[in-house]
C-alpha cells in the first residue's frame, strides 16, 4: 500500500541488509515479513503469538513502571496517546515531556533472561523500534528499561522459584537501562526502507489478486 504506516515494532525487520545484490533493496527476511503483513491486512486478522513471556509483560507492566519510577526518582505514567506520521503509527510506553525523553519497558521473564549489563541489552530490532518512536515523538533520546519483578505464580509453573521471586534483591539491581541517542541519518534510512517496503507490499497485493483470479472457475 502506498500509504501503509508501519508500527515501530515492525521497523527492525525491514532494516536487515540484503545478503546479495539479487535481493534488491530489501532482504529476503524483510520480504517474508512484508508478505505476512499483507496477509494480515487481506484477511483482517493479527498474527499475534501468545507466550508466557508476553503474558508477564502485559500483566506486570504497571509494576515494572513503578519499579523504574522508584529506582530513578521519576513520576512517569503509562502513555495512552497514539501518534502517526507519513511513515509510522505507534503508541509508546512512557514519555517524559519535561525532558523530551521516551522510555520503553521490557519486563524480563526471569533472572536468567534479565540483562545485568547495558551491553546485554543491545538488540538491533529494539534499537530501530526506539528510533521509530523518536521520530513520532520528536524526542532527543529513548531509553529501553529492562525490569525484573516477581513472576505471577500461575505463569511460573515448574520453573525454579528462585529465578522468579526477586523482592529480596535491591530494586536498583533489577533495572538495566540502555539509552539510544537520536540520529537523523538513521531516520532517513528508515524512511527509505519503508518506501521500498510499501512498493513491495503493492506487488504482493497484485500477485495475490492474480493468483486467486487464476483459480476462479
pLDDT, tens digit (0-9, with 9 covering 90-100), for 94-112: 999 999 999 999 999 999 9
Among 46-55, 95-104, 155-164, 175-184, name the one with the lowest average pLDDT: 46-55
- Can you give the pTM of this predicted structure? 0.93
Q: What is the mean predicted confidence (pLDDT) over 49-67?
A: 94
Enumerate domains of the chain plus CATH numbers: 1-48+187-217 (no CATH), 49-182 (3.90.320.10)
pLDDT value at residue 48:
77
Whole-number pLDDT of residue 1: 62
- When pLDDT is averaged across residues 158-168 and rounded to a whole number, the result is 97
pLDDT beyond 80 at 153: yes
Quickly state the pLDDT bin for 47 (edges 50, 70, 90): confident
Between residues 73 and 214, the one the model is more confident about: 73
How, if at all, do strands 101-107 and 141-147 pair?
Answer: parallel
In tens, the pLDDT along 102-147 reads: 999 999 999 999 999 999 999 999 999 999 999 999 999 999 999 9
Express as a percent the part of the chain with pLDDT over 70. Answer: 97
Amino acid at each position: 500500500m502506498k500509504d501503509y504506516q508501519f508500527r515501530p515494532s515492525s521497523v527492525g525487520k525491514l532494516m536487515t541488509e540484503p545478503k546479495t545484490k539479487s535481493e534488491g533493496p530489501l532482504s529476503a527476511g524483510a520480504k517474508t515479513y512484508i508478505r505476512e503483513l499483507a496477509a494480515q491486512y487481506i484477511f483482517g486478522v493479527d498474527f499475534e503469538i501468545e507466550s508466557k513471556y508476553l503474558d508477564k509483560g502485559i500483566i506486570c507492566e504497571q509494576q515494572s513502571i513503578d519499579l523504574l519510577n522508584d529506582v530513578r526518582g521519576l513520576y512517569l505514567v503509562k502513555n495512552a496517546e497514539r501518534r502517526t506520521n507519513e511513515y509510522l503509527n505507534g503508541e509508546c510506553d512512557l514519555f517524559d515531556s519535561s525532558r523530551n525523553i521516551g522510555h520503553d519497558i521490557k519486563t524480563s521473564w526471569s533472572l536468567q533472561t534479565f540483562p545485568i549489563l547495558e551491553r546485554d541489552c543491545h538488540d538491533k530490532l529494539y534499537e530501530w523500534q526506539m528510533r521509530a518512536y523518536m521520530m513520532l515523538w520528536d524526542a532527543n533520546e529513548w531509553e529501553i528499561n529492562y525490569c525484573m519483578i516477581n513472576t505471577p505464580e500461575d505463569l511460573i509453573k515448574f520453573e525454579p522459584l528462585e529465578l522468579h521471586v526477586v523482592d529480596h534483591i535491591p530494586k536498583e539491581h533489577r533495572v538495566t537501562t540502555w539509552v539510544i541517542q537520536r540520529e537523523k541519518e538513521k531516520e532517513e534510512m528508515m524512511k527509505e526502507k519503508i518506501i521500498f517496503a510499501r512498493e513491495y507490499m503493492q506487488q504482493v497485493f497484485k500477485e495475490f489478486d492474480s493468483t486467486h483470479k487464476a483459480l476462479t472457475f
